[in-house]
Amino acid sequence: MATTKTASHQGEAASGVTESALNELFIDELKDIYWAEKHLTTALPKMAKAATSEELRTAIQNHLAETENHVSRLEKAFESIGEKAVAKKCEAMAGLIKEGDEIVAETEKGSITRDAGIISAGQKIEHYEIASYGTLRTLAGVLGYDEAAELLEATLQEEKNADSKLTEVAESSINQNAKNERK
């Protein structure tokens, strides 16, 4: 497979690394998760507002602060590889956010069942992010983007922690209480 240098990858050209299909895939996936994180900064406040449980609301608000940091970290990752931070619509995240909105719309306001649904939607989002950041971190390592790999690893760990926190909140009382809730 032939590789070519492009003007958009000046950092690589300067270091003698040539453009590769894998590098293009990495950048494309980075743009994808950048879009996803930016859109989560508007979706998470809506989820927090819809939550009934203070514990769930706090968990979502805490993760919102982390998500804002994820956006900044992605911008640093782009910079570290000599790329401009550009978002490309992430169809998967758009669908997951839409699903979360539908769960809120279809459950009763103030119900614990709504909280169980919000947790379900939130964990689907976290699992998508965990898969994305794990793949990106690995690709960054293969491509020799050590700084980007470190940045992506830090976010990966925070996404895993957010997923664990949602599980903890669900198992502490929400799922059991929702089981007993009547329509």
In the predicted model, what is the mean pLDDT of the chain? 91
pLDDT-based confidence at 3, cuts 50/70/90? very low
- 139 located within any domain: yes
pLDDT-based confidence at 14, cuts 50/70/90? very low
pLDDT-based confidence at 18, cuts 50/70/90? low
Question: What distance in Å separates the CA atoms of residue 84 and residue 31, rounded to the nearest whole number?
Answer: 10
What's the half-sphere exposure (Cβ side, CA atoms, 13 Å) at 122?
34
CATH code: domain of residue 36: 1.20.1260.10
Assess whether pLDDT exceeds 50 at residue 119: yes
169 vs 4, residue with greater confidence: 169
Amino acid 7: pLDDT: 36
The model carries a pTM of 0.88
- 3-state DSSP of the chain: CCCCCCHHHHHHHHHCCCCCHHHHHHHHHHHHHHHHHHHHHHHHHHHHHHCCCHHHHHHHHHHHHHHHHHHHHHHHHHHHCCCCCCCCCCHHHHHHHHHHHHHHHHCCCCCHHHHHHHHHHHHHHHHHHHHHHHHHHHHHHHCCCHHHHHHHHHHHHHHHHHHHHHHHHHHHHHHHHHHHCCC
Amino acid 74: pLDDT: 98
- 12 located within any domain: no
- 107 located within any domain: yes
Assess whether pLDDT exceeds 70 at residue 1: no
pLDDT by residue (tens digit) across 129-170? Answer: 999 999 999 999 999 999 999 999 999 999 999 999 999 999
Nearest in space to 112 (alpha carbons), one of 56, 59, 174: 174
- 156 located within any domain: yes
Amino acid 54: pLDDT: 96
Question: What distance in Å separates the CA atoms of residue 145 and residue 143, rounded to the nearest whole number?
Answer: 6
Q: How many domains does the chain have?
A: 1
Domain range for 110 is: 19-175
- 25 located within any domain: yes
Question: What distance in Å separates the CA atoms of residue 14 and residue 168, rounded to the nearest whole number?
Answer: 48
- 49 located within any domain: yes
